[in-house]
Amino acid sequence: MANNSPALTGNSQPQHQAAAAAAQQQQQCGGGGGGATKPAVSGKQGNVLPLWGNEKTMNLNPMILTNILSSPYFKVQLYELKTYHEVVDEIYFKVTHVEPWEKGSRKTAGQTGMCGGVRGVGTGGIVSTAFCLLYKLFTLKLTRKQVMGLITHTDSPYIRALGFMYIRYTQPPTDLWDWFESFLDDEELCML
């Protein structure tokens, strides 16, 4: 009886995993049903998403992160949310925009140029509910399936937008096109 273990055959994957990867690649290239396609699974990761960049700050601007971590909303209300579904429900009920600061909370009078309130985060303010929830999603260490659930969610464009923001802040730049390509003409997201 032949032993076909990966170590003895020289393959890095068992045959059933290689077949599953080939089937997924065929689906992405047009062999599957309609709808959004999943980004390519790189390496051995499967449902586990790699984190790119700083694993503690989520690659957020330091002022935004400081304001999130000191926010009573993040420290009290979001601390109590323990599951992905609870956070998605919170996004549905609480998020009304996806900008980093709450409207009117930044002092920009007398500033010009890059610090004039048009770009950047020069003076801070009250961090938005959306960014607090984005960082909460990061603390949950989402799986590929959960991120796909966010970006294909049908109840709220804000849930989808936070899914795309999660991808943008946490995924390797070389993988971004695979995630975003099939959504580039999405009219719902263009309205945000």
| pTM score, whole prediction | 0.68
Measured between its terminal Cα atoms, the distance across the chain in Å is 61
How big is the chain, counted in residues?
Answer: 192
Domain map (residue ranges) of the chain: 62-104+123-189
- The reported pLDDT for the residue numbered 192 is 56
Q: Distance (Å, rounded) from C-alpha 90 to C-alpha 38?
A: 25
The answer to whether residues 153 and 88 touch, using CB atoms and an 8 Å cutoff, is: yes
What DSSP letter does each residue of 71-102 carry, written as one string?
-HIIIIIGGG--SHHHHHHHHHHH-S---SB-
- The reported pLDDT for the residue numbered 50 is 86
- The reported pLDDT for the residue numbered 105 is 76
pLDDT along the chain (192 residues), means of 10: 42 41 41 45 66 93 95 96 97 96 72 50 79 97 96 95 96 92 77 58
- The reported pLDDT for the residue numbered 175 is 92
- The reported pLDDT for the residue numbered 189 is 63
- The reported pLDDT for the residue numbered 187 is 76
- The reported pLDDT for the residue numbered 57 is 94
